[in-house]
Each structure stands twice: as structure tokens, then as C-alpha cells.
Structure 1
Amino acid sequence: MTRNSPLDDPAAAAFAWARWRRLMAVVAAITVLVVGAALAWFWASGEPVSVHFYIAITLGIAGTMLLTGALMGLVFLSSGTGHDDAVGPD
């Protein structure tokens, strides 16, 4: 039998999701910096590469970082609100 989750309270849920969105904003800003640095590094190398290479690098780095940040943020949200304790054994 599961107990009520702290996320059932609208105020607690709103606070938790706002914190998750702030984390995602930070992760997105860091992602933009990392992608920009990677693209600048490859461009400065002077090697002739296709535009498809730059697209693949951008999508690969951004997708990996954003997905990792989103999943990590959900783990923090679940653990930080006590939602994990509500699902555990009695």
C-alpha cells in the first residue's frame, strides 16, 4: 500500500517543478556554452568538414546533455520532495 506523496499537495508540487525548471534552464545555458565551444574548436582546427558534421555534433552534444540533465533533475525532484519515501515499503 502506498502512502500519499508530498507531490499531491499543489503548493509543494509547484515548488518542486519550479526548481526542476530552474535546473533545466541552467543545464540549457551550459549546453549552449559547451556546444559553442565544441563548434568553435572544430572550426578553428582548419579541417574541411561538412555542414552535416556540425549539425551532428550540435544535436549529439545538446541531446545528450539535455536528456541527462532532465533525468537527473527528475531524480532530484523525486528524492527531494519525499516522493520516493511514499512509494517504499511500510
Structure 2
Amino acid sequence: MPDEGKYCTICGGAVPAGPEIRKVLVDGKATGIDRLDRILEDVIALGLEREDEIRAALLERVKAFNYVPTKKADAYAGALMAEYRAALAARR
């Protein structure tokens, strides 16, 4: 029986696909992040001002729905921060 579906070449898990998956560049690689739009709205609503707090809040929420390799946490945080800034600018 052939394998069905798509699997991550890094962790071997099923690649998420669906209406709530957005792709962002993490270390130059397109990476699917589940529920990113919701996460961004939630963190914006917190009204945090310090970048370290925003990065931590984004990463904490992303990790609840997505696998984030420990070695790539800073790269993910940077990519998430860029998405956060874009979402914040779009609201204005």
C-alpha cells in the first residue's frame, strides 16, 4: 500500500495543510504555520510594547499548534516578528 499524504522532510510528521495554514520564511525556507492569523490577532490584542515580550508571546502560541525545533526557535521568532509587524501595519 503506497504512503498517502505529504510528510515533512525534517521531522517526518504530516505536513499541515488547510485554510488556517500560512507559509512564512524561516531561515529562507517556506514553513507552514497553523493558525498564524489567529495567533497574530491574539498577540496584537495583548498590547505588548517590548519586542522580547512580543516574540515570547508569539513563539509560545505558535508552539501550541506547531512543531518548532529548539535550534530554530530564534529563527522562528524573527519570522513571526516580521509577520507581527506586517499585521500591525495592516490594521492602521
Is the shorter-chain TM-score for this pair beyond 0.5, marking a shared fold?
no
Q: TM-score range, shorter-chain basis?
A: 0.3 to 0.5
Q: Which protein has greater RCO, CA pairs closer than 8 Å, 6+ apart? A: 1
Higher Rg of the two aligned structures = 1
More strand by proportion, 1 or 2? 2
TM-score computed with the length of structure 1 as normaliser: 0.38
**TM-score between both structures, scaled by the size of structure 2:** 0.38
Q: Between Structure 1 and Structure 2, which shows a larger proportion of helix residues? A: 1
